[in-house]
Amino acid sequence: MAFKEDHELHKRRFGRNLGLGLVLIGFVALVYGITVVKVGELYKPAAEASE
């Protein structure tokens, strides 16, 4: 028994959802990376931090 083919609207919606998901993952990765760098700066010794 074969499934019905997806309607064109569903294909476009899937494409938009996939694009938005990738953008959100990229944003989360960017915020995580900035947080790691900022927290890493907090734990440097004072002599290294002034350079």
Q: What is the pLDDT of residue 1?
A: 58
pTM (2 decimals)? 0.66
- Tens of pLDDT, residue by residue over 1-50, are 567 877 888 888 999 999 999 999 999 999 999 999 999 888 877 665 55
In the chain, DSSP assigns E strands to none
Q: What is the pLDDT of residue 51?
A: 54
- CA–chain centroid gap for 31, Å, is 8
First to last CA, the chain: 69
